[in-house]
Amino acid sequence: MRKNVIVGQSGGASAVFNATLAGVYHMADDLQTNVYGMMNGLQGLLEDKIVNLGDYIRNQYDLEVLRNTPGAFLGSCRYTLPDYNEQPEVYNRIFDVLRKHDISSFYYIGGLESLKTLSKLCTYAKLIGCDDIRFIGIPKTIDNDIPLTDHTPGFASAAKYVATSVKELIRDSSIYGRDFVTVVEVMGRDTGWLTAATTLCKGSDCSGPDLIYLPEKVFDPEKALEDIARVRKNKKSVIVCIGEGCKLADGRYLCDVDESNSFTEDASGKRLLTGASRVFARMIHDRFNCRVRAVEFSALQRSACHMASKTDNDEAFTIGENAVKASNLKHTGEIVIINRVSNDPYQIRISVKDIKGVFNESKSVPTEWILDDNSGMTEEFEQYARPLIQGSVVTHYKDGLPLHMPYIIF
Amino acid sequence: MRKNVIVGQSGGASAVFNATLAGVYHMADDLQTNVYGMMNGLQGLLEDKIVNLGDYIRNQYDLEVLRNTPGAFLGSCRYTLPDYNEQPEVYNRIFDVLRKHDISSFYYIGGLESLKTLSKLCTYAKLIGCDDIRFIGIPKTIDNDIPLTDHTPGFASAAKYVATSVKELIRDSSIYGRDFVTVVEVMGRDTGWLTAATTLCKGSDCSGPDLIYLPEKVFDPEKALEDIARVRKNKKSVIVCIGEGCKLADGRYLCDVDESNSFTEDASGKRLLTGASRVFARMIHDRFNCRVRAVEFSALQRSACHMASKTDNDEAFTIGENAVKASNLKHTGEIVIINRVSNDPYQIRISVKDIKGVFNESKSVPTEWILDDNSGMTEEFEQYARPLIQGSVVTHYKDGLPLHMPYIIF
């Protein structure tokens, strides 16, 4: 009889969220395992909303299309598991459902919060002496803020998208040869990895962003305006990239300087940190009385499968496959991670680590990698990030547009 | 001795602005002609800022990279020629520069305003009996608002980009299975061609936008909120696409409902019509107290060479080549246009028409093509627009990002 395993997706989307799902399916299917998917992560599992992935992924072509479909094929959630001594019934319910479907392995693809939730489940499993279900976490985030792993699937595709788009915006903003400041807002609530990635467009054919502001450093409006004044002396079209999570010295988010920014929310109900670029653009306009424009990449940067990094997509797929290998080797309570072996040639090794480690470290951009005058990143960042954005995915087109996997009708 | 011709770019950028420039260069160079470029259009010409394009386009590879470089390689302008009876010295100056460089043909790639400016120059040339310089206009705009031609190079690539991005956003916004309204703002000051193009993502793998609002119809907030209420009854994640140029019944732009939107400007100093999505998102939030998000594509939609339509890029190139052919056949005072021969198979024929015709017609989206309940476009639009977004350009990559032509250092 075939074994049963289950996989879920949790947290915000990335361009390779489904590539990891495809990797899990591919390896598990190869091993003659039934692969169930929980709809909307643990939230769906609690309601026994479960599909058989084999009903949807019928052949290699489906698998390829799934790898390049944005969003979360199984749906996602922002569900935080309560502590088990407070609500044991939730844990009982989860294990009842897992037993009902005779699940031997549980894979959860998610960001930092989702992995923390999975960690609670692992701890509980150990507590009740459950050793016949293995729990494996698979990192995913565009923010690149997950510790233990060299980098996280999802980051590089978003990085490639923002670097490409900034490069295109730089061209757009310079055509009139007139004074102009463009402020580009990039995602990253607590970390500036993605904002830093905009500097990757700097090269022989592009001057790159002139100034970058990462959440890792306090945003001082007065100093930032001095930076602008300095750059404007020698350059007509100025490009500033700013992290959405930049904070003032008093701890407030920059976007909160304008209260009218506070009404927008994520689909999960999480408040959107949107507006930093508008706030800063207005400050620049008020100070210099110059032309300004604010550009937000918004959800585009985490959904742009059409501009995904092949390296990222391949790694996301492989990390999914390796989760299945790990559980087959009787690992549990661990996450799959990427170790970097070398930059040039770029080589990685996939391994696993105790999931509890995600609580112990933080994964901010090292502030010594940010140039003191905010004009860019050091060579260390270049060496870290450049290999990750290499290669383009092969997008399947239909009727002139990228083809996506049809939705699951549940 | 080689003849000399000159080419200029004017108005806002498009993803294929430089493809047309490459087409002009390619054909003129084939005909053993020196190709000069005026920097920043007529504005640069007046200051005798002229380059020899052959110094920059040295081989077929350069030509290919130029075809896929965003922005305006020669720089652009928003220069409106004064009437010649008011400022004859400007006209004298232009013809002095043209004589100085022994120019036999003058090609101007631009949108509606730029072509009108060129038309004045043509009229003046006829007035002074100048018959040794030929003036040819070459249409370019993402707005698709130029009369005489079936469609305009630039539109289809922007259409492909917005349709792809909306398709990706639809995935992103549905992952949590929760109530959510996303309002996407699309460019188009007076016409809704590009907003209409977002409906092209509707298909077997995508439900498409649920509601669209084009500037061709008065925007009635109360009716629009009723539309939203209707869609929300049956659907959790609602996607609304709205043209930046939508106006209220009193003639005000929707974006002007929020005065804080008025400070941003285009690089040319033209006020940006930005903010319609934010204004409408706030109305929706205030009415339904639901999660909302506003997304603006901003300049991305006119700069995204990485997502250009091959059909568009090919046509933009060809129309540039045909401008040179036309002047060689002694045409002048004309614009190059695209005639559609058939939809299926998609076939076009390039010809020329008197440039004065651009004054006489308007090129709005036929309102009968917009479904009465604002839920989409009719089959006529589909047949019109679908062929235009076919095919993907071959992007040259360097260091993981699309390669652009290096800037002209003038």
> Is the domain of B294 the same as that of B326?
no
Number of domains in chain A: 2
Residue type, B102: D
Q: Looking at the domain assignment, is residue B241 inside a domain?
A: yes
Q: What percent of chain B has pLDDT over 90?
A: 92
> Is the domain of A203 the same as that of A258?
yes
- Which of 304-323 (A) contact B at CB < 8 A? 304-307, 309
- With beta carbons less than 8 A apart as the criterion, state whether A25 and A53 touch: yes
> Where is the domain boundary, A302, A319, A336?
A302
Phi/psi of residue B174, nearest 5 degrees: -100, 0
> Is the domain of B181 the same as that of B222?
yes
- With beta carbons less than 8 A apart as the criterion, state whether A410 and A49 touch: yes
Write the pLDDT tens digit of every residue in A60-114. 999 999 999 999 999 999 999 999 999 999 999 999 999 999 999 999 999 999 9
> Is the domain of B119 the same as that of B215?
no
Q: Looking at the domain assignment, is residue B390 inside a domain?
A: no
What was the pLDDT predicted at B259?
Answer: 77
> Is the domain of A103 the same as that of A173?
no
- pLDDT: which is higher, B1 or B2: B2
Q: Looking at the domain assignment, is residue A390 inside a domain?
A: no
What was the pLDDT predicted at A171?
Answer: 97
**B265: contact with A, CB 8 A cutoff:** yes
A168 and B391 in contact by Cβ < 8 A?
A: no
- With beta carbons less than 8 A apart as the criterion, state whether A241 and A377 touch: no
Give the Å distances, CA to CA, from A407 to A66, A69, B170.
Answer: 11, 10, 11
CATH number at residue B113: 3.40.50.450
> Where is the domain boundary, B338, B361, B384?
B361
Q: Looking at the domain assignment, is residue A63 inside a domain?
A: yes
Q: Looking at the domain assignment, is residue A98 inside a domain?
A: yes
pLDDT above 70 for A22: yes
Please state, in angstroms and rounded to a whole number, the distance separating the CA atoms of residues B353 and B309.
Answer: 25
Please state, in angstroms and rounded to a whole number, the distance separating the CA atoms of residues A254 and A30.
Answer: 50
Q: Is A329 exposed, middle or buried (0-12, 13-18, 19+ CB in 10 A)?
A: exposed
Look up the domain containing A316 and give its range.
3-154+305-361+395-401
Write the pLDDT tens digit of every residue in B225-247. 999 999 999 999 999 999 999 99
What was the pLDDT predicted at A124?
Answer: 95
* DSSP E strand boundaries for A248-380: 292-296, 334-343, 346-354
Q: Looking at the domain assignment, is residue A296 inside a domain?
A: yes
> Is the domain of B36 the same as that of B139?
yes
> A145 by DSSP, 3-state: which?
coil
In chain B, whose CA is at the least distance from the CA of A41? B176
CATH number at residue B220: 3.40.50.460
A272 band by pLDDT with thresholds 50, 70 and 90:
confident
> Is the domain of A174 the same as that of A297?
yes
pLDDT above 80 for B266: no
Which candidate from B293, B302, B303 shows the least CB-CB separation from A264? B293
> Is the domain of A198 the same as that of A336?
no
> Is the domain of A15 the same as that of A108?
yes
Chain B: give the shortest CA distance to residue A144, in Å. Answer: 19
> Where is the domain boundary, B361, B380, B399?
B361
Which candidate from A167, A258, A293 shows the least CB-CB separation from B272? A293
What is the average pLDDT score of chain B?
A: 95
> Is the domain of B167 the same as that of B291?
yes
Q: Which helix (H) or strand (E) holds A136?
A: strand A134-139
Write the pLDDT tens digit of every residue in B81-115. 999 999 999 999 999 999 999 999 999 999 999 99
In chain A, whose CA is at the least distance from the CA of B237? A267
What was the pLDDT predicted at A258?
Answer: 86
> Is the domain of B291 the same as that of B337?
no
Known catalytic membership, residue B354? no
> Is the domain of B63 the same as that of B166?
no
B320 band by pLDDT with thresholds 50, 70 and 90:
very high
Write the pLDDT tens digit of every residue in A1-18. 568 999 999 999 999 999
List CB contacts (< 8 A) between A298 and chain B. Answer: 293, 295-296
pLDDT above 60 for B79: yes
In chain A, whose CA is at the least distance from the CA of B179? A267
**A285: contact with B, CB 8 A cutoff:** yes
- With beta carbons less than 8 A apart as the criterion, state whether B178 and B236 touch: yes
Structure tokens of B152?
């305009």
Q: Looking at the domain assignment, is residue A33 inside a domain?
A: yes
A168 and B304 in contact by Cβ < 8 A?
A: yes
**A195: contact with B, CB 8 A cutoff:** no
- Would the pTM count as exceeding 0.95? yes
Residues B113-140 as b or e (16 or more Cβ within 10 Å = b): bbbbbbbbbbebbeeeebeebbbbbbbb
Q: Looking at the domain assignment, is residue B396 inside a domain?
A: no
